[in-house]
Structure 1
Protein backbone atom coordinates (compact mmCIF):
# COMPACT_ATOMS: atom_id res chain seq x y z
CA UNK A 1 0.00 0.00 0.00
CA UNK A 2 1.35 3.39 -0.91
CA UNK A 3 1.93 6.27 1.45
CA UNK A 4 -0.78 8.32 -0.28
CA UNK A 5 -3.33 5.55 0.29
CA UNK A 6 -2.39 5.35 3.98
CA UNK A 7 -2.72 9.12 4.34
CA UNK A 8 -6.13 9.04 2.69
CA UNK A 9 -7.28 6.15 4.88
CA UNK A 10 -6.23 8.14 7.94
CA UNK A 11 -8.08 11.23 6.70
CA UNK A 12 -11.20 9.17 5.99
CA UNK A 13 -11.06 7.73 9.52
CA UNK A 14 -10.69 11.17 11.07
CA UNK A 15 -13.42 12.57 8.82
CA UNK A 16 -15.83 9.80 9.79
CA UNK A 17 -15.18 10.48 13.45
CA UNK A 18 -15.83 14.18 12.96
CA UNK A 19 -19.14 13.45 11.21
CA UNK A 20 -20.19 11.12 14.01
CA UNK A 21 -19.26 13.60 16.75
CA UNK A 22 -20.95 16.62 15.15
CA UNK A 23 -24.14 17.39 17.07
CA UNK A 24 -26.02 19.92 14.94
CA UNK A 25 -27.74 18.23 11.97
CA UNK A 26 -27.06 21.15 9.63
CA UNK A 27 -23.35 21.13 10.40
CA UNK A 28 -23.36 17.36 10.20
CA UNK A 29 -24.73 17.52 6.64
CA UNK A 30 -21.85 19.80 5.64
CA UNK A 31 -19.26 17.57 7.27
CA UNK A 32 -20.90 14.57 5.59
CA UNK A 33 -20.36 16.27 2.24
CA UNK A 34 -16.68 16.82 3.01
CA UNK A 35 -16.45 13.20 4.12
CA UNK A 36 -17.91 12.16 0.78
CA UNK A 37 -15.20 14.14 -0.99
CA UNK A 38 -12.53 12.43 1.11
CA UNK A 39 -13.95 9.05 0.14
CA UNK A 40 -13.98 10.10 -3.51
CA UNK A 41 -10.29 10.95 -3.38
CA UNK A 42 -9.55 7.68 -1.58
CA UNK A 43 -11.31 5.70 -4.29
CA UNK A 44 -9.35 7.56 -6.96
CA UNK A 45 -6.09 6.77 -5.14
CA UNK A 46 -7.14 3.12 -5.00
CA UNK A 47 -7.75 3.25 -8.77
CA UNK A 48 -11.52 2.79 -8.69
CA UNK A 49 -12.80 5.71 -10.80
CA UNK A 50 -16.29 4.24 -11.30
CA UNK A 51 -16.82 3.93 -7.55
CA UNK A 52 -15.35 7.41 -7.06
CA UNK A 53 -17.79 8.91 -9.54
CA UNK A 54 -20.75 7.25 -7.83
CA UNK A 55 -19.50 8.35 -4.41
CA UNK A 56 -19.06 11.91 -5.63
CA UNK A 57 -22.61 12.09 -6.96
CA UNK A 58 -24.35 10.33 -4.09
CA UNK A 59 -22.17 10.93 -1.03
CA UNK A 60 -21.12 14.50 -1.70
CA UNK A 61 -24.29 15.94 -3.19
CA UNK A 62 -27.50 13.93 -2.90
CA UNK A 63 -27.31 12.58 0.66
CA UNK A 64 -26.31 15.91 2.32
CA UNK A 65 -29.02 17.68 0.33
CA UNK A 66 -31.61 15.15 1.49
CA UNK A 67 -30.44 15.56 5.10
CA UNK A 68 -30.74 19.36 4.89
CA UNK A 69 -34.20 19.14 3.33
CA UNK A 70 -35.34 16.69 6.01
CA UNK A 71 -34.03 18.94 8.79
CA UNK A 72 -35.80 21.91 7.27
CA UNK A 73 -39.11 20.07 6.94
CA UNK A 74 -39.02 18.59 10.43
CA UNK A 75 -37.97 21.85 12.09
CA UNK A 76 -40.87 23.61 10.36
CA UNK A 77 -43.34 21.10 11.81
CA UNK A 78 -42.07 21.60 15.37
CA UNK A 79 -43.06 25.24 15.41
Structure 2
Protein backbone atom coordinates (compact mmCIF):
# COMPACT_ATOMS: atom_id res chain seq x y z
CA UNK A 1 0.00 0.00 0.00
CA UNK A 2 2.82 2.37 0.85
CA UNK A 3 4.47 1.82 -2.54
CA UNK A 4 1.22 2.66 -4.32
CA UNK A 5 0.98 5.93 -2.39
CA UNK A 6 4.58 6.82 -3.22
CA UNK A 7 4.06 6.12 -6.92
CA UNK A 8 0.83 8.16 -6.94
CA UNK A 9 2.51 11.16 -5.31
CA UNK A 10 5.51 10.85 -7.63
CA UNK A 11 3.19 10.90 -10.65
CA UNK A 12 1.41 13.95 -9.24
CA UNK A 13 4.80 15.60 -8.70
CA UNK A 14 5.77 14.93 -12.31
CA UNK A 15 2.44 16.31 -13.51
CA UNK A 16 2.81 19.50 -11.45
CA UNK A 17 6.42 19.97 -12.60
CA UNK A 18 5.26 19.70 -16.20
CA UNK A 19 2.49 22.20 -15.51
CA UNK A 20 5.00 24.69 -14.08
CA UNK A 21 7.19 24.40 -17.17
CA UNK A 22 4.32 24.64 -19.67
CA UNK A 23 2.59 27.62 -18.04
CA UNK A 24 3.48 30.73 -20.06
CA UNK A 25 1.95 33.57 -18.01
CA UNK A 26 4.40 34.44 -15.20
CA UNK A 27 1.66 35.25 -12.67
CA UNK A 28 -0.09 31.94 -13.27
CA UNK A 29 3.25 30.18 -13.21
CA UNK A 30 3.88 31.51 -9.69
CA UNK A 31 0.52 30.09 -8.58
CA UNK A 32 1.26 26.72 -10.20
CA UNK A 33 4.71 26.82 -8.57
CA UNK A 34 3.01 27.18 -5.21
CA UNK A 35 0.87 24.12 -5.96
CA UNK A 36 4.02 22.25 -6.95
CA UNK A 37 5.51 23.16 -3.58
CA UNK A 38 2.50 21.70 -1.81
CA UNK A 39 2.79 18.46 -3.79
CA UNK A 40 6.49 18.24 -2.95
CA UNK A 41 5.68 18.74 0.73
CA UNK A 42 3.18 15.88 0.53
CA UNK A 43 5.83 13.73 -1.16
CA UNK A 44 8.27 14.43 1.67
CA UNK A 45 5.63 13.49 4.25
CA UNK A 46 4.94 10.24 2.39
CA UNK A 47 8.69 9.55 2.34
CA UNK A 48 8.74 10.12 6.13
CA UNK A 49 10.72 13.37 6.09
CA UNK A 50 8.44 15.76 8.00
CA UNK A 51 11.20 18.28 8.71
CA UNK A 52 11.93 18.65 5.01
CA UNK A 53 8.20 18.85 4.32
CA UNK A 54 7.84 21.74 6.77
CA UNK A 55 10.75 23.58 5.16
CA UNK A 56 9.30 22.96 1.70
CA UNK A 57 5.92 24.26 2.83
CA UNK A 58 7.42 27.48 4.12
CA UNK A 59 9.94 28.16 1.41
CA UNK A 60 8.66 26.43 -1.72
CA UNK A 61 4.98 27.10 -1.21
CA UNK A 62 5.01 30.61 0.24
CA UNK A 63 8.31 32.47 -0.03
CA UNK A 64 9.46 31.61 -3.56
CA UNK A 65 6.08 32.27 -5.26
CA UNK A 66 5.78 35.52 -3.27
CA UNK A 67 9.20 36.69 -4.46
CA UNK A 68 8.29 35.74 -8.04
CA UNK A 69 5.01 37.69 -7.81
CA UNK A 70 6.80 40.74 -6.38
CA UNK A 71 9.37 40.60 -9.19
CA UNK A 72 6.60 40.34 -11.80
CA UNK A 73 4.82 43.32 -10.25
CA UNK A 74 8.01 45.40 -10.24
CA UNK A 75 8.82 44.53 -13.85
CA UNK A 76 5.31 45.30 -15.07
CA UNK A 77 5.28 48.59 -13.16
CA UNK A 78 8.65 49.52 -14.65
CA UNK A 79 7.50 48.74 -18.21
CA UNK A 80 4.24 50.68 -17.90
CA UNK A 81 6.03 53.84 -16.74
CA UNK A 82 5.92 56.76 -19.15
CA UNK A 83 9.17 57.33 -21.08
CA UNK A 84 9.58 60.89 -19.78
CA UNK A 85 9.31 59.86 -16.10
CA UNK A 86 12.57 59.54 -14.22
CA UNK A 87 13.36 56.70 -11.88
CA UNK A 88 13.25 57.37 -8.16
CA UNK A 89 16.72 57.64 -6.57
Give yes or no for TM over 0.5: yes
Tell me what 2:57 maps to: 56
Distance 1:75 1:27 in 2: 15
The structure that is helix-richer by fraction is 1
Work out the number of aligned pairs and report it: 79
Task: Tell me how far 1:68 sits from its aligned partner.
Answer: 0.3
Give 4+ residue runs of structure 1 displaced > 3 Å after superposition. Answer: none
- Per-residue CA distance 1:7-54 (angstroms, 9 max, x = gap): 000000010000000000000000000000000000000000010000
Q: What is the TM-score of this pair, normalised by structure 2? A: 0.87
Please identify the structure whose Cα radius of gyration is greater.
Answer: 2
Aligned to 1:10: 11
Deviation at 1:57, TM superposition (A): 0.2
CA RMSD in angstroms comes to 0.8
Residue 36 (structure 2) pairs with residue 35 (structure 1): yes
Q: Which has the higher contact order (CA 8 A, sep 6+)?
A: 1
